[in-house]
Amino acid sequence: MTFAMLTRRNLQAIVESTAPTNEASGGVAAPGQRERFIPVRKSDLVEALVARRGLASEEEAGLRRLAHALGAIFHQRYFDELDRLREAYFYFDPEVGPEARRAAADLEGAYGMLRDEFVRVLNEANFVEIPHQEIVRAFGEHALVRVKIKVPLEDYRDIRMFRRGDHKQTVDVPYLFGLRRRRLEIEVYDDVVLMVAKKPEEDVSDGPPPARAGFWRARKQKRKHRLRAGAVLFKYFRHIARGDLEALFPNARVVMSLTDQFTLGVPAVVGGVPILLKLASTLTVLFAVLGFYLGLSGALHDNDTQQALAALSGLFALGAFVLRQWGNFHRQSLIHQKQVTDNIYYRNINNNSGIFHYIIGEAEDQDWKETLLAYFCLLTAPSPLSGAALGARVEELLVELFDIHVAFGADDGLAKLRSFDLLREDGGHLAVPPPAEALAQLEKEWAGLLSAKAS
């Protein structure tokens, strides 16, 4: 069984065991599914809505105050969410030392809370989970990073990837050892969030390497456990090709492909064999001369010294050849590593707890846009709308104002309006109060938030 087959099987087993079973657990992207993400600045959205409606100055001011009040309430709500995420992540942060660990049963509960809370916030920010079939397929593809990568999948108990936004991109990729280039169309994800959980200590089967394992085994084991057991890593990337998802994993290592091994190995064999054959006939003479000077043998021929010097020069030539091949190997490794650095590492925007601020802000931003768009379209509709009609109306409005095509989450927008008591429902028909009345209701909501904080 090849490593590629083993890698895909391990990855499939891990991601299938942790795949969500319903939309509430994060939402899995389906082929051809439209994005729910609304890529518009808040200020641009408010200005476009005001300009399109042609509101009077008093109504325009009311809509602006309403938008500001919504933003303040969402910000306050998600401030508490940020604290919950930080608290849940404390015991799994790789920067936290062993003194912060708790009993295994408590850690399992804390891990479940962290995972569910993180996935829920990503869903609010309109991220969708990448299906496990797509991740497994990406392990067999190459896009911008055209090198072989080895990932220690057996170290992880949970692997989940989320993305938001995608587009097609045409790139030139080299082939025939870089002598020719061909154009390739690749799928690029605008935003990618990776969640990777290491196995806890009791699940790590291999302990410290025994003394007899040798230097290389010990070095491999040390590299393998660089990240402490039970830690959870979050990584956020931007503009990642689908075929390069494998390179996002922590502890991913660049290894030589069969082509690289053939390219480096054949010249080494062709160049090294003649040197070894030439040395074989002179090494016995070298040992004889060394034995004579060390007093181990008493006979020495006339030309033995010259042959011994030739053998020494041959050994130096062999040493220089080995060093040159070793340098070629490391040079090729650095070239491959540079591909990963150029196309992956500099696209890494944030990691671990630093991600929480970003995704909380994005979730807050998307909720605000969905609520304001739902309110505006219900407010300006000539007659009460149904939920399906509201979604279609918002989508048409976004195409008209910004030329963007999204799958508007009407249910989410209506749920938020309902939570603010801004939705009027009558037999399946929906309406909202005017801005002045809606603003008064939001002021009550804000006062309730402040009083809850004070108590």
164-174: average pLDDT: 76
- 331 neighbors 325 (Cβ within 8 angstroms): no
The three state secondary structure string of the chain is CCHHHHHHHHHHHHHHHCCCCCHHHCCECCCCCCCCCCCCCHHHHHHHHHHHHCCCHHHHHHHHHHHHHHHHHHHHHHHHHHHHHHHHHHHHCCCCCHHHCCCHHHHHHHHHHHHHHHHHHHHHCCCEECCHHHHHHHCCCCCCCCCEEECCHHHEEEEEEEEEEEEEEEEEEEECCCCEEEEEEEEEEEEEEEEEEECCHHHCCCCCCCHHHHHHHHHHHHHHCCCCCCCEEEEEEEEEEHHHHHHHCCCCEEECCHHHHHHHHHHHHHHHHHHHHHHHHHHHHHHHHHHHHCCCCCCCCCCHHHHHHHHHHHHHHHHHHHHHHHHHHHHHHHHHHHHHHHHCHHHEEEECCHHHHHHHHHHHHHHHHHHHHHHHHHHHCCCCECHHHHHHHHHHHHHHHHCCCCCCCHHHHHHHHHHCCCCEEECCEEECCCHHHHHHHHHHHHHHHHHHHHC
| Report for 160-174, 229-243, 354-368: range of highest mean pLDDT | 354-368
pLDDT at position 44 is 94
Higher pLDDT, 225 or 176: 176
Q: pLDDT class for 206, splitting at 50, 70, 90?
A: very low
* Backbone torsions φ then ψ of 273, nearest 5 degrees: -60, -50
User: At residue 164, does pLDDT exceed 80?
Assistant: yes
User: At residue 356, does pLDDT exceed 70?
Assistant: yes
pLDDT at position 22 is 40
Higher pLDDT, 346 or 400: 400
Q: What is the average pLDDT score of the chain?
A: 75
pLDDT at position 281 is 58
Angle formed by the axes of helices 42-53 and 387-402, nearest 10°: 100
Left, alpha or beta for 34 (phi > 0: left; psi -120 to 50: alpha)?
A: beta
pLDDT at position 9 is 53
Q: pLDDT class for 451, splitting at 50, 70, 90?
A: confident
User: At residue 168, does pLDDT exceed 90?
Assistant: no
343-357: average pLDDT: 83
d(Cα 14, Cα 158) in Å, to the nearest integer?
Answer: 6
Q: pLDDT class for 287, splitting at 50, 70, 90?
A: low
Among the residue ranges 16-20, 350-354, 370-374, 423-427, the one predicted with the least confidence is: 16-20
Higher pLDDT, 72 or 272: 72
pLDDT at position 72 is 92
Give residue for tokens 């030392």: 97
- Who's near 154: CB < 8 A, 6+ residues apart? 10
Give residue for tokens 């004070």: 454
Structure confidence by residue, pLDDT tens digits, 236-268:
998 888 877 777 777 766 655 555 555 656 566
Chain centroid, CA 261 distance in Å: 29
pLDDT at position 98 is 63
| Report for 23-27, 116-120, 330-334: range of highest mean pLDDT | 116-120
pLDDT at position 41 is 93
